[in-house]
Amino acid sequence: MKKILILGGGTAGTMMANKLSKELDRSEYEITIVDKDKTHYYQPGLLFIPFGIYNKHDVIKPKANFFPRNVNVVYGDIDYIDPENNQVFMQNGRKLNYDWMVLATGTETRPEETPGLKDKLWNKKIFEFYTLEGAVALRNFFKDWQGGKMVLNIAEMPFKCPVAPLEFVFLADAYFTEIGIRDKVDITYVTPLPGAFTKPKATKMLGELMEEKNIKVVPEFYMERVDNDQQKIISYDEKEIPFDVLVSIPTNMGTDAIERSGMGDDLNFVPTDKYTLRSKNYENIFVLGDAADIPTSKAGSVAHFASDVVFENLMSALEGRELKAKFDGHANCYIETGFGQGSIIDFNYDTEPLPGTYPLPGVGPFGLLKNTKTNHYGKVMFRWIYWHILLKGKEMPLESQMSMAGKKTS
Amino acid sequence: MATQTIAGKEVDLNEDGYLTDHTQWNEAIAKELAKEEGIELTDEHMKVLNYLREKYAEGESLSIRKVGKSGIVDIKGLYKLFPGGPLKISSRLAGIPKPQSCV
């Protein structure tokens, strides 16, 4: 009996458990999935909570609903992995052996990494929206806020869902307009990047949208610390930006168990072959989703497209065959732009987001790098697709490889 | 791409002014490129450039954070050495490609 161990039961791990359980003969393989938390969070929905569009109950379901029946589930904290001896030690002393591992422990926000960020103003005037607690705290703050200077800051690259901070300021613009205080709210988007986004065409489109919505962009700002008494953020080169409310995208890091296992880089992300998605150091470990150090977005869509590659390569590895599937870094992101509209970007390692139609060339229905109502409905429908199709590892009518069809290159 | 003579040596530069072949680099070239950025290269600068070249040769991706943890210089110090865009400028002077920030 061979043991397959999936560490992490988030978007990536859950999809993998479902794919593997359908394919593998249970008289030959035992599948176990490990997670510390019994709740599954619909993370794309957290963004909507501060504006009262979703509430807590729209974004949580028990993880157990999505794990296949014939998979062992272990809830608990991982102490460390001993990859030389194919063992995982849990904090409660339990030991799990494995023959093959899918490492899907994700990324988490670490406000502690920035001096003054998680201090006396935390959840009072300084917020984040990547956790349910944070998103709900910000919702409660906005209920009574009369306006002032709202600063959104990205602390460090890379971070989960690179479009979320853009969506946040777009939705904030719409929200404050709708409640009638937009003229009293000053929105500033502060980023360590040279512009609103990383790639030229998307940066241009999004930069123009920022201007249209009267949102200031401060590029090349690398935050060193937060001054709680004077309510300002300070960069390493001594630039200062004052705030009345600070919405932070804190430093993202992989879980501490990766650090304790000596398997990560300086941000606890795991060195991974960007094509095969196998660990660079251990032949029997594949890395799926945000935990990997591959140069693409940390996003559910990436985990989804990558899961096809990990699945195929793991099957090959189990049978001792060469790893043939190659990941192209494909990412596909909806961008909510407020007032019932949205945009979509589709890109990979080599191709930046381009204008066009998706998924059908010339037809759509979605418009790439365009701001449309249909794109917004795509995002609205996506929650249903996520819970009912994607997590369960069912086939989606989308290719995992990015396609140039429908994209305009000139 | 353009071929240019810097410090008596022919080098190939891309449109952003970065060397396209890091093996064409030497310290004299770094000094010339530094002048264009308004920087007088010291030993402190050179330690950073050598660190970047070493990590680049090992195939590692570089970030300001990583340089700050290298033990050579902290992030504040790096900004003082290469004001404006510490990793972009230091990478150019080190003769390695412009850092990619991935999405």
Compute the nearest-CA separation of B43 from chain A (Å): 21
Distance CA B92, CA A12 (A): 38
What type of residue is B14?
Answer: N
Q: Where are the alpha helices (DSSP H) in A154-272?
A: 164-178, 200-212, 256-260
pLDDT > 80? residue B1: no
Q: Touching check for A260 and chain B: CB below 8 Å?
A: no
**Rounded Cα–Cα distance for residues A357 and A375 (Å):** 11
pLDDT digits (tens, 9 = 90+) for A42-94: 999 999 999 999 999 999 999 999 999 999 999 999 999 999 999 999 999 99
Residue A11 Cα distances to A6, A121, A182, A288, angstroms? 12, 32, 36, 10
What is the spatial distance between Cα A46 and Cα A294, in angstroms, rounded to a whole number?
25
Q: How confident is the model at residue A398 (pLDDT cuts 50, 70, 90)?
A: confident
Report the pLDDT value the prediction gives residue A61, as an integer from 0 to 100: 97
How far apart are the C-alpha atoms of A120 and A105, rounded to whole Å?
A: 30
Contacts of A340 (CB under 8 A, 6+ apart): A373, A376
Residue of A nearest to B75 (CA): A236
B-chain residues within 8 Å CB-CB of A198? 101-103
What is residue A316's three-state secondary structure?
Answer: helix
The structure tokens listed for A380 are: 């609205």
> At residue B59, does pLDDT exceed 70?
yes
With residue A36 as reference, give the H or E element that holds it.
Answer: none
Quick one: pLDDT band at residue B60, thresholds 50, 70, 90?
confident
Confidence of residue A321 (pLDDT cuts 50, 70, 90): very high
CB contact under 8 A, B103 and A224: no
3-class SS of residue A323: coil
Tell me, yes or no, if the two domains A2-106+255-318 and A111-251 fold the same way: yes
pLDDT digits (tens, 9 = 90+) for B76-95: 999 999 998 899 999 999 99
Which contiguous run of DSSP H or E holds residue A352?
A: none
Q: A299-313, pLDDT tens digit by residue?
A: 999 999 999 999 999
End-to-end, the C-alpha distance of chain B in Å comes to 26
Contact B100 A295 (CB under 8 A): yes
Q: Round to whole Å and give the CA distance between B46 and A33.
A: 49
Q: What single letter denotes the amino acid at residue B65?
A: R
CA nearest neighbour of A10 among A284, A345, A307: A307
Q: Which of B69, B76, B33, B37 is nearest to B51 (CA)?
A: B69
Q: How far is A159 from chain B (nearest CA, A)?
A: 8
DSSP 3-state of A51: helix
Q: Is the pLDDT of residue B103 over 60?
A: no
Q: Calculate what percentage of chain A has a pLDDT beyond 90.
A: 93
C-alpha distances out from residue B36 to A184, A196, B30, B39, B82, Å: 44, 28, 10, 7, 12
Contact B87, B70 (CB under 8 A): no
Confirm or reject contact between A351 and chain B (CB < 8 A).
no
What confidence score (pLDDT) does residue A198 get? 80
- Closest partner CB to B102 (pick from A158, A220, A222): A158
Residue type (1 letter), B24 = Q
- Give every CB contact of residue A276 below 8 A, 6+ residues apart in sequence: A309, A313, A323, A325, A326, A327
Query: What CA–CA distance (Å, rounded) separates A233 from A197?
Result: 21
> Is there a contact between A222 and B66 if contact means CB atoms under 8 Å apart?
no
Nearest residue to A106 via CA among A20, A190, A40: A40
User: What's the CA gap between A45 and A59, in Å, rounded?
Assistant: 6
As a whole number, mean pLDDT of residues A218-224 equals 95
Residues of chain A contacting B100 with CB distance shorter than 8 Å: 295
Task: Say whether pLDDT at B102 is over 60.
Answer: no
* Contact across the interface for B65 and A267, Cβ inside 8 Å: yes
Residue A177 above 90 pLDDT? Answer: yes
Q: How many CB pairs under 8 A join A and B?
A: 42
Contact map slice: B 7-66 vs A, CB within 8 A: 61, 63-66
State in words which class domain A111-251 has: alpha beta
Q: Mean of the pLDDT values across residues A334-363?
A: 93
Residues 101-130 of A with CB under 8 A from B: none
Choosing among B61, B62, B78, B103, which should be mutated to test the A contact, i.e. which has the most A CBs within 10 A? B103
pLDDT at B99: 86
At the topology level, CATH places domain A2-106+255-318 in: FAD/NAD(P)-binding domain (3.50.50)
Residues of chain B neighbouring A156 (CB-CB closer than 8 A): 65
Chain A residues lying within 8 Å of B16, measured CB to CB = none
- Write the burial class of residue A210 (CB in 10 Å: 0-12 exposed, 13-18 middle, 19+ buried): buried
The answer, for B69 touching chain A at a CB cutoff of 8 Å, is yes
What does DSSP say about strands A100-103 and A285-287: parallel, antiparallel, or unpaired? Answer: parallel
Distance from CA of B89 to the nearest CA of A (A): 13
From chain A, pick out residues whose CB is under 8 angstroms from the CB of B55. Answer: none
User: What is the model's pLDDT at position B50?
Assistant: 97
Interface TM-score (ipTM) > 0.90? no
Q: Determine which of A28-37, A87-96, A315-324, A357-366 has the lowest per-residue pLDDT on average.
A: A357-366
A197 and B69 within 8 Å at the Cβ level: the answer is: no
Q: How confident is the model at residue A199 (pLDDT cuts 50, 70, 90)?
A: confident
Using the predicted structure, report yes or no on whether residue A31 has a pLDDT greater than 90.
Answer: yes
Residue A1 in this model has a pLDDT that exceeds 80: yes
What is the set of active-site residues of B? Answer: 102
CA–CA dist A316, A5 (Å, integer): 17
Picking from A369, A312, A315, the residue whose alpha carbon sits closest to that of residue A344 is A369
pLDDT of residue B101: 64
CA atoms within 13 A on the CB side of B46: 11
The number of CA neighbours under 13 Å toward the Cβ of A58 is: 18
Which residues of chain A have a CB within 8 Å of the CB of B61?
A: 293, 295
Which amino acid, A249? I
Query: Would you place residue A407 in the very low, low, confident or very high pLDDT band (cuts 50, 70, 90)?
Result: very high
Count CB atoms within 10 A of the CB of residue A74.
Answer: 18
Residue B9, min C-alpha distance to chain A (Å): 32
Domain ranges of chain A: 2-106+255-318, 111-251, 331-390
Does residue B45 register a pLDDT over 90?
Answer: yes
Torsions phi, psi of B95, nearest 5?
75, 20
- The end-to-end CA distance of chain A, in Å, is 55
**Cβ–Cβ gap B79/A236 under 8 Å:** yes
| Angstrom distance (rounded) from CA A231 to CA A318 | 56
What's the pLDDT at B2?
84
Q: How far is A191 from chain B (nearest CA, A)?
A: 12
The answer to whether the Cβ–Cβ distance between B102 and A197 falls below 8 Å is no
Identify the band that residue A409 occupies on the pLDDT scale cut at 50, 70 and 90. Answer: confident
Residue A20 CA to residue A302 CA, distance in Å, equals 18
